[in-house]
C-alpha cells in the first residue's frame, strides 16, 4: 500500500493532502470572494502546479459560489482530479447553517451541483449534516438512489460521530467521513474509519493552533509542516484538506506533497 495515498471507496486513490475550498467565499462564507481572479488562480495553481488531486467543496459555500468557481477555473477537468462536494445544508444568511435532509431537497442539491460543476457524476458526495428532523434512512435512501442512478460515485458523511457512522452503514455503503480534526483532537470517528476501511478527511487542521497568529512566514511554514506531518502520521486512513485564500499559505500547506506525504 502506498503510504502517500488513501483509496476512497476501494477504487479512488487520492493524495493525503488535498485542498478545502471554503475560504474562497465572502465574509461569513457568504457570496463571492473579495478577489474572484485570485480565487480562480489559486484553484488552477493547486491542481496544475502543486499536484493537488482532491478538491473539497459544498453547495453551501457561498452558497453555490465555490462550485461555480471550480468549474470556471478547471473545466474540462484533468483526469486525475477528484472533486468532492456536499449537500443538505440550507443557508439563510452569512454564518447561518441549517441542516435540511428532506429527500426531495437532497435530490435537488445533487442535481444542481452536477449542473454547476458541469459533471455527469460526482466522485464523492457528502451528506453535509445529518438532519435530526428527518429519519436518517430517508436521507441516505435519497442519496443512495442517486448513487444507483450513476450520479454519485461514492457517499460520505460530514460532522458525525462514530455511532452515527455505524448507523448510516446499516442503510448504505459509506466511503468517507469528514470531521474537523487538528493535532489536539481526539475523535473516535477516526479509529472507527480506520477499523472499517473508510477514508477520514480532516478539515481545518490548524483551527486550534494559536501559534499561527502573528507568526513570521518562516515560523508559520515550519509549524505548518509540523502539524501536517503529525496528523498524517496519526492514521493511514487520514487525509487532510487545509484551506486558504492565500497563494503563500497554499504552497506551505502543499509543500509536503513533494516530500512524500501526498505524492
Write down the domain spans for the chain.
5-257
Q: 18 near 53, Cβ under 8 Å?
A: yes
Question: Can 125 be counted among the known catalytic residues?
Answer: no
Q: How many CB atoms lie within 10 A of CB 93?
A: 8
Buried (b) or exposed (e) across 175-193, using 16+ Cβ within 10 A? Answer: bbbbbebbeebebebbebb
Mean pLDDT of the chain: 94
pLDDT band at 253 (very low <50, low <70, confident <90, very high): very high
As a whole number of Å, the CA-based R_g of the chain is 17
In this predicted structure, the answer to whether residue 216 has a pLDDT above a threshold of 70 is no
Eight-class DSSP state of 34 = S
Catalytic residue from among 19, 61, 125, 126: 61
What pLDDT is stored for residue 96 in this prediction? 98
What pLDDT is stored for residue 223 in this prediction? 87
Q: List, for residues 43-96, the tens digit of each pLDDT value.
A: 999 999 999 999 999 999 999 999 999 999 999 999 999 999 999 999 999 999
Tell me the HSE value of 94 on the side-chain side, using a 13 A CA sphere.
8
**Hey, is 195 helix, strand or coil?**
helix
d(CA 112, CA 143) in angstroms, rounded, equals 14
Q: 192 near 168, Cβ under 8 Å?
A: no
In this predicted structure, the answer to whether residue 204 has a pLDDT above a threshold of 80 is yes
Strand partners, 177: 157, 200
Q: In 3D, which of 217, 226, 223, 228 has the Cα closest to residue 254? A: 228
Where helices occur in the chain by DSSP H, the ranges are 36-44, 65-74, 103-117, 136-148, 162-169, 188-196, 217-234, 247-254
The three cell numbers of residue 247 are: 497563494
The three cell numbers of residue 171 are: 442503510
What pLDDT is stored for residue 255 in this prediction? 86
pLDDT band at 260 (very low <50, low <70, confident <90, very high): low
Q: 202 near 181, Cβ under 8 Å?
A: yes
- Give the contacts of 170 (CB within 8 A, at least 6 positions apart): none
Query: Class of 5-257 per CATH?
Result: alpha beta
pLDDT band at 207 (very low <50, low <70, confident <90, very high): confident
In this predicted structure, the answer to whether residue 117 has a pLDDT above a threshold of 70 is yes
Q: Are strands 5-8 and 12-15 parallel, antiparallel or unpaired?
A: antiparallel
Q: 127 near 157, Cβ under 8 Å?
A: yes
In this predicted structure, the answer to whether residue 11 has a pLDDT above a threshold of 60 is yes
Amino acid at each position: 500500500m502506498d503510504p502517500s495515498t488513501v483509496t476512497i471507496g476501494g477504487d479512488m486513490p487520492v493524495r493525503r493532502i488535498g485542498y478545502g475550498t471554503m475560504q474562497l467565499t465572502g465574509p461569513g462564507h457568504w457570496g463571492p470572494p473579495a478577489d474572484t481572479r485570485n480565487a480562480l488562480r489559486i484553484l488552477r495553481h493547486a491542481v496544475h502546479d502543486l499536484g493537488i488531486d482532491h478538491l473539497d467543496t459544498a453547495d453551501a459555500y457561498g452558497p453555490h459560489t465555490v462550485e461555480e468557481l471550480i468549474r470556471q477555473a478547471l473545466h474540462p477537468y484533468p483526469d486525475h482530479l477528484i472533486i468532492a462536494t456536499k449537500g443538505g445544508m440550507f443557508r439563510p444568511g452569512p454564518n447561518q447553517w441549517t441542516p435540511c435532509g428532506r429527500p426531495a431537497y437532497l435530490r435537488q442539491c445533487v442535481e444542481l451541483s452536477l449542473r454547476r460543476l458541469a459533471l455527469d457524476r460526482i466522485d464523492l458526495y457528502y451528506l453535509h449534516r445529518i438532519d435530526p428532523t428527518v429519519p436518517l434512512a430517508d436521507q441516505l435512501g435519497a442519496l443512495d438512489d442517486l448513487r444507483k442512478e450513476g450520479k454519485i460515485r461514492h457517499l460520505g458523511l460530514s460532522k458525525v460521530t462514530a455511532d452515527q457512522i455505524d448507523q448510516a452503514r446499516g442503510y448504505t455503503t459509506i466511503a468517507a467521513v469528514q470531521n474537523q480534526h487538528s493535532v489536539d483532537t481526539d475523535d473516535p470517528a477516526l479509529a472507527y474509519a480506520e477499523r472499517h476501511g473508510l477514508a477520514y478527511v480532516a478539515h481545518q487542521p490548524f483551527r486550534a493552533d494559536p501559534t499561527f497568529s502573528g507568526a513570521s512566514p518562516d515560523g508559520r511554514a515550519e509549524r505548518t509542516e509540523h502539524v501536517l506531518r503529525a496528523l498524517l502520521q496519526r492514521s493511514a486512513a487520514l487525509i487532510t484538506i487545509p484551506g486558504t485564500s492565500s497563494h503563500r499559505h497554499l504552497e506551505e500547506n502543499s509543500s509536503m506533497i513533494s516530500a512524500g506525504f501526498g505524492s
